[in-house]
Amino acid sequence: MVKDSRGEKEINAMMMPDLKVGDWILYASNIAVHKVSEEDAMEILALLEPKSHIDLSLLDKEFLDILKACHTRGLERDEIIRLLKTQDPTELEALFSEANTIRQANLKDFFCIHGIVEFSSYCVRNCHYCGLRRDSGDAGRYRMSASEIVGAVEDAVNKRGYKLIVLQSGDDFYYTDDMLVDIIRMIKERCKVFIFMSVGERSLEGYKKMKAAGASGVLFRFETSSRELYNSIHPGQSYDERIAYLKGMKAMGYYVASGFLIGLPGQTLDGIADDIITMKSLGVNMVTVGPFIPSADTPLSERPAGDAMTTLKVIAIARLLMPKTKIPVTTALETIESEEGRRLGLSSGGNSLMFNLTPERYRDFYRIYPNKYHGKEEMWEKYGLFKEALSYKMLEKKMFEVFEEEGKYSGR
């Protein structure tokens, strides 16, 4: 029997025969998975439990009606804009707390840590914001070999307990489809892990082969839903093609992680509302949004960074609209707000973290933007990941549930 903020419930403690009354535990899907010290338990509770009970009578009626409406229907564009616009501290608290409550109701305290291996900093594209763009002289370029990539993943999965790994690079055609397929196969032979590919625009045929080899997901942002803005900052690329990729990937049965940048030049709050609506209508399975951070030697190097508060509002609104979706707190938010960004993201509707697993010697060269945040990985790894095979099963079950609801899960 455990007691938490939602009352008492029965928990299966078969895996932990030494448990005593009074011990603190972490549990998932009603199975006890970890004993936790009282001190750590307090820290985790402070992070994940809704903090205060807001006096709803103080809230503007229109605002309260919007928060209530999201339980029974999707939100209209002007309602999303109303939420995005608020600067009122009570309204903000209500928004974040509502998102946190919805996360808890739908995902319990299931939150996990994903890893990212950035395996090549070469890129053929010239995106105006990105430090890896082809014309940037500031980017140090490197490529990891297949065995380095497989080794980094093996280490993270078999030694540190990671269950979901993103393989990311610039759009780098040095790696042929067949090379990527081989890398995926080698990883799947050695470890029980979900692989997400974030390798940009290459043929859908290639994506099909990677799926067949064992890749489960893609991380592929549409970056902005404004066609004009997209086309103006992505020379040689087109918004319509980007969206066609996402639809094609989804149709193949990929678990799709997508989203947009916050704080691009010319972006308005109305535009952000459209970005959120686009994300929902694409049916993304994992939301990935983060602030733009200016990068040296790019056309946008002098522009101000995107705003952390807007990013948190977007995470919270995404949670209201997509109660079961995975929402990782992105490194870019942590970079502008450090550990506090992580805490705020997780208590505003976010439910996972993305840690960097790129080998030390390459990390500094993968400079999409400067001063990327790393911190407290060990404490998080200790409680966010479970080494047992069971935890892979739990993740599989969660991913499966989302697909089943959409009638789209295609195995593996």
Residues that bind ligand SAH in the complex, under the rule CB under 6 A: 129-130, 168, 170-171, 198, 200, 220-221, 223, 261, 290, 292-293, 295, 332, 368-369
Q: Taking the complex as a whole, how short is the minimal distance between the CB of residue 164 and ligand SAH, in angstroms?
A: 16
Residue closer to ligand SAH, measured from CB, 27 or 230: 230
Q: Which two tokens stand for residue 209?
A: 């082969």
Element (H, E) at 317: helix 308-321
Q: Taking the complex as a whole, how short is the minimal distance between the CB of residue 221 and ligand SAH, in angstroms?
A: 4
- Whole-angstrom Cα distance, residue 130 to residue 350? 25
Residue closer to ligand SAH, measured from CB, 102 or 353: 353
- Whole-angstrom Cα distance, residue 257 to residue 326? 9
* Nearest residue to 285 (alpha-carbon basis) of 188, 385, 196, 394: 196
- Residue 406 region by backbone torsions, left for phi larger than 0, else alpha for psi between -120 and 50, else beta: alpha
Residue closer to ligand SAH, measured from CB, 230 or 392: 230
Residue closer to ligand SAH, measured from CB, 70 or 165: 165
Residue closer to ligand SAH, measured from CB, 91 or 172: 172
Amino acid in the structure at residue 117: V
Residue closer to ligand SAH, measured from CB, 103 or 367: 367
Number of H helices, E strands in the chain: 15, 14
Q: How does DSSP assign 356-400, residue by residue?
A: E-S-HHHHTT--SSSS-----HHHHHHHH---SHHHHHHHHHHHH
Q: Taking the complex as a whole, how short is the minimal distance between the CB of residue 72 and ligand SAH, in angstroms?
A: 33
Q: Taking the complex as a whole, how short is the minimal distance between the CB of residue 373 and ligand SAH, in angstroms?
A: 12
Q: Taking the complex as a whole, how short is the minimal distance between the CB of residue 302 and ligand SAH, in angstroms?
A: 13
The CA–CA distances, whole Å, from 230 to 45, 141, 223, 234, 271 equal 41, 26, 7, 6, 12
Residue 319 CB coordination number (10 Å):
28
Q: Taking the complex as a whole, how short is the minimal distance between the CB of residue 19 and ligand SAH, in angstroms?
A: 42
Tell the residue number behind the tokens 């790019």, with chain if given. 298
Residue closer to ligand SAH, measured from CB, 161 or 306: 306
| 219 φ, ψ (degrees, to nearest 5) | -115, 110
Q: Taking the complex as a whole, how short is the minimal distance between the CB of residue 177 and ligand SAH, in angstroms?
A: 15
Strand pairing class (194-198; 217-219) = parallel
